[in-house]
Chain A
Amino acid sequence: MTEVAATPAENTRLQRTLGILRDVMVRPSGAIGLTLVTFHVILAVISPWIVPYDYKAMNSLLMLNGPSGAHWLGTDHLGRDVLTRVLLGGREALLVTGVATPIAVIWGGLLGIFFGLVGGRLDEVLMRVVDAFLSLPWILKMLVLIVTFGTGIEVLIPTLAFFYGIPVIRIARAATHDVVARDFVSAARARGHGRITVIRRELLPNVLDTLMVEGAMRWSWMLLAFSSLSFLGFGVSPPTPDWGLMIADARGFMSFAPWGVLGPVIALSSLIIGINLTADALAKALGIDRAQKAPV
């Protein structure tokens, strides 16, 4: 008999995670994306301690001043420091979407996997319902809910999680269909493993890869949606700083005080671009991206 050192399972799982992380980081898109996202997350956490001014402090003498040594990004129409507000303006968005995204992926993913496994008539009928729902404009659906229930975090998180989970159903279902058709699932069934074991061991790890990438994409869209809601006045309520809200406020003065818009726009788009680049690199690292495979 051969002597074999037992390798704990965690070891290989950790290796895989590290391997994927390395794979993501060696791609330019992954390196840039992950840096941007990490930068934003760190900023969101530490910004209350590093901002130069009080975000609420109005000063009628400093209204709409351009960038200066004291106010690097200038001041807004109430004389508040724009840099301070940009640094803080992503906190609410990141918090809400950071909680809502996993919820969306989990419930949409579970339901999609369930549909995919059940198959048949029920699956088809339910997918029609999902399709019909998806064909309605999201902003309308969301506004209806928010107008009914209010705009606090306790409403925004479940609302976003709900709406953004629905397309995940579709993705998870398709991924499940793909995996279920493969021989390793038949092999496990033929061995006589229970349904739960087959799902947990054979199906989930493969579907989770797809869901992870999907989750990252959802996150960036959710951020955009959240900011749009704030922009429309349904998200964060003043005076709490928020990029969407800041853009809405500064919009009127754009022709002569563009700095008020520029800061939050750059912050928001860099975060969204960062997430997208990361998702892209992640998809490639996980081998989900089909174009990557054949050298033809």
Chain B
Amino acid sequence: MSALIDIRDISVGFVGRDGRTREVLRNIDLAVAPGECVGLVGESGSGKSTLALAAMGYLKRGLRLLNGSAVFSGTDMFAQSRRELERIRGGQLALIPQNSGQSLTPTLRIGAQLGEALRLHSALPADQHAAKVVELLGHVRLPDPEAIVARFPHELSGGQQQRVAIAMALAGEPEALLLDEPTTGLDVTTQAHILELLRDIAADRGMAMVYVSHDLGAIARVCTRVVVMYAGEVVLEGSTRHVLKFPTHPYAQGLLASIPKLDDSALPIALDGRPPAPGDAGAGCAFADRCALVQDRCRSTRPQLEASESGGTVRCFFTKEAGRQQGQIIGAAPARFSGGDTMLDLDGLAISYARPRLLDQLLGRGTDVPPTVDDISISIGKGETLGLVGESGSGKSTILKTIAGLLPPAAGAVTAGDQSLPHMVEHRDPGQLRQIQLIFQNPDDSLNPRHTVADILEQPLKLYFGLTGGKLRARSAEILERVRLGAHYLDRLPSQLSGGEKQRVAIARAFAAGPEIVLCDEVTSALDVSVQAAVLDLLNDLKRSQGTTYIFVSHDLAVVRALSDRVAVLYQGRLCEIGQTDQVFEGESHPYTKVLLGAVLEPDPDAAPTLAADDIVERAPPASGCPFQRRCPRRLGEICDTDTPPWQSPEAGHFIRCHISLEDLNVD
């Protein structure tokens, strides 16, 4: 079969400040046949996105083609006119970027946006567009497509927006799809559904896909072949099974070991060190500095990509040794909390975004809209990590914002140490402010694009410690080292960093304050696994050495398991279950916890998720009964709609809120 996407010997680079050309991609070949789905994996900065974008003849500003070609369906993409490229992109070759759901135009109805895509890229006569729009929306399994057409993007959930983005990409009947982290940032349940959808679409249409992701679980689910990239080159390539189960390259092994496992509470193993900066790989193997099997030969000679026994290719001198090493790496046990004084106490917290209507205000009534978050009482010990899980919109970030003093609670109190905290940040004293630091989910949003890394890190150092001049800069560099970035990053702007690098800067900024309580809002969801492992390791270290208390919000259950002492499961702003980590993951579970656990994707080509009903958007919490009533696969009946379920406790410290009796909970 001839390749649809045929990238040959491509090298891409940029001219650094010193005038040297630095390569971001080094002599890469990639061929994708129709119907084939190839996964590109590697750490952030390895050039995955650059390679995928190069397949459509696009290079980010500042980058240039140094060598090679990218042919799509017989067309050399780097030799085309702008107009021709525009015709092909979005038509035969479509891109679904990360957060593409969020890049929908907020002011245009879904129907209009899809119509526009059809107008640009479809040969259909205009009078059939309306019907086609509905068909496309049905195709991506959006419930009630006729109604969705008239909606605005903000009226859809994140997963639904992503479906619209996929529908949009399908509008031009593409022969190939390029997907750059298409499910990163989505809920586990939503992600699982989207991946099934992509699998089916690819199978139905015989489409070729290039799937860029740092999530090996997702790759395992959709890809037939995997290409592992490191420092701009391919180090291992082969069938998904071989790469994920019997990796013969030390880097791929390290990558796999750095993935937290759902059924194991050990911390994943961070790959030490960091990849060489573009152009700094030297003469030998680019991975040499981090490789456990390194020999003198590796440092002097660059290994070539050679055929491996399993039918793929591998770039390593010691493949056999690597094969033997596989499976011998075992993760460290995380620092566990062993009881202590209460550090943070949430008492009956309720938070509402709804403003009372004028009439209600005049009559002295509150709103009748149920609060977004209600009845949250949790107390967290000094040095304890509380994992907070739940889908997007469940109020995890809202709770963190209230603790940080950015959002006033409608009821309840927050106590840190022995001090009751004023509701708003403006009323807190410097000590209280320094004590609690917040790390946000999306570094693109949490780092000011106009500040250099030095500016960013210096803010807390100046504010809380009054550092100035050379001390300030030296301390910033030191903090940067702790998150595995070198001092040479100090003068960069966020736009000059990769996604992972940005988040590390955001984390560094929070730790610069020397906080006692760190609120982590999906802090690793934008990171790749090896960095995630390193960040988890770092968070764990600080917990051990400084007794830092965390609230760790994540939709990745395996990550939560690796780091948390206790886990609270949140649905629609209400607690469903709370308990010691092992109790929640292994003991009796709330039906919602079960749904979450079932949707987790393991980096194993043989594992398939158990999916509950397709995702339903919840608009507001129900006024009475169980918050999970509309989606619960085990609904008992009327009682779930009318009566608030009782807390039941199967074991000391483990609480489940459901009408189903404890004996029946684990019986399916």
Contacts and interface: CB of A to CB of B under 8 A. Distances in A.
Interface of A: 1-2, 4, 6-7, 12, 182-184, 186-193, 201-202, 205-206, 209, 287, 294-296
A183 B438 CA distance: 10
Interface stretch (B200-208, B399-407, B595-603): B399-407
A295 B448 CA distance: 24
A188 B478 CA distance: 22
B644 interface: no
B459 A191 contact: yes
Given A1-B474, A7-B491, A189-B425, A295 B95 contact: yes
Contact of A202 (B58, B433, B448): B448
Given A192-B430, A205-B450, A2 B474 contact: yes
Given A2-B474, A294-B97, A296-B97, A191 B446 contact: no
Given A295-B53, A296-B95, A2 B481 contact: yes
B179 to A, nearest CB: 13
B478 A192 contact: no
Contacts of A186: 401, 406, 438, 440, 446
A190 B405 contact: yes
A184 B446 contact: yes
Nearest to A204: B450
Contact of A296 (B89, B446, B452): B89
Given A183-B442, A187-B446, A296-B95, 10 more contacts: A2-B486, A4-B490, A182-B446, A183-B445, A187-B506, A190-B405, A190-B433, A190-B436, A192-B430, A294-B97
A191 B463 contact: yes
B469 interface: yes
Contact of A187 (B434, B438, B495): B438
Contact of A4 (B95, B434, B473, B495): B473
Which of A4, A7, A205, A206 counts the most chain B CB atoms within 10 A?
A4
A187 B478 CA distance: 22
B56 to A, nearest CB: 7
Contacts of B495: 287
Interface string B446-464: 1111111010000110010
19 contacts: A1-B474, A1-B478, A2-B481, A4-B487, A6-B470, A7-B454, A7-B490, A182-B446, A184-B448, A189-B406, A190-B404, A190-B438, A192-B430, A192-B434, A193-B463, A201-B451, A294-B103, A295-B53, A296-B94
B513 A2 contact: no
A12 B89 CA distance: 37
Contact of B463 (A184, A192, A202, A296): A192
Contacts of A183: 440-442, 445-446
A1 B477 contact: yes
Interface string B92-126: 00110100000100000000000000000000000
Interface in B613-642: none
Contacts of B393: none
A203 to B, nearest CB: 9
B255 to A, nearest CB: 28
A294 B491 CA distance: 26
A183 B526 CA distance: 15
B159 interface: no
A10 B61 CA distance: 25
Contact of A6 (B89, B406, B469): B469
Contacts of A6: 469-470, 473
B72 to A, nearest CB: 14
A192 B445 contact: no
Contacts of A287: 495
Contacts of A2: 474, 477-478, 481, 486-487
Contact of A182 (B401, B445, B491): B445
A211 B287 CA distance: 47
A182 B449 CA distance: 11
A184 B477 contact: no
Contact of A205 (B94, B97, B438, B448): B448
A190 B425 contact: yes
B90 interface: yes
5 closest A-B pairs by CB? A192-B433, A183-B446, A205-B450, A295-B58, A183-B445
Given A4-B474, A183-B446, A187-B440, A193 B459 contact: yes
A51 B347 CA distance: 82
A46 B445 CA distance: 48
Interface string B486-516: 1100110001000000000010010001000
Interface in B51-83: 53, 56, 58
B428 interface: yes
B70 to A, nearest CB: 13
Contacts of A202: 448
A192 B452 contact: no
Given A4-B473, A184-B445, A184-B448, A190 B406 contact: yes
A188 B459 contact: yes
Given A191-B513, A296-B95, A206 B450 contact: yes
Contacts of B449: 206
Contacts of B441: 183
B14 to A, nearest CB: 14
Nearest to B492: A12
A12 B463 contact: no
A186 B403 CA distance: 13
B460 A191 contact: yes
B59 to A, nearest CB: 9
Contacts of B404: 190
Interface string B506-547: 100100010000000000000000000000000000000000
A205 B89 CA distance: 34
Which of A6, A202, A205 counts the most chain B CB atoms within 10 A?
A6
A294 B169 CA distance: 13
A84 to B, nearest CB: 44
A30 to B, nearest CB: 14
Interface string B390-432: 0000000000010011100000000000000000010010100
A201 B469 CA distance: 18
A206 B494 CA distance: 14
A12 B56 CA distance: 34
A165 to B, nearest CB: 24
Interface string B472-488: 01100110010000110
Nearest to B424: A189
A208 to B, nearest CB: 9
Nearest to B513: A191
Contacts of B469: 6
Contacts of A188: 459
Given A187-B438, A205-B448, A295 B433 contact: no
Nearest to B400: A190
A1 B470 CA distance: 12
Contacts of A192: 425, 428, 430, 433-434, 463
Contacts of B89: 295-296
A296 B90 contact: yes
Contacts of A206: 448-450
Contacts of B491: 7, 12
Nearest to B449: A206
A192 B434 CA distance: 8
Contacts of B459: 188, 191, 193, 201
Contacts of A1: 474, 477-478
Contacts of A205: 448, 450-451
Contacts of B58: 295
Contacts of A189: 406, 425
A205 B495 CA distance: 15
A186 B94 CA distance: 35
A187 to B, nearest CB: 5
A189 B426 CA distance: 8
Contacts of B428: 192
B56 A295 contact: yes
Contacts of A191: 433, 437, 459-460, 463, 513
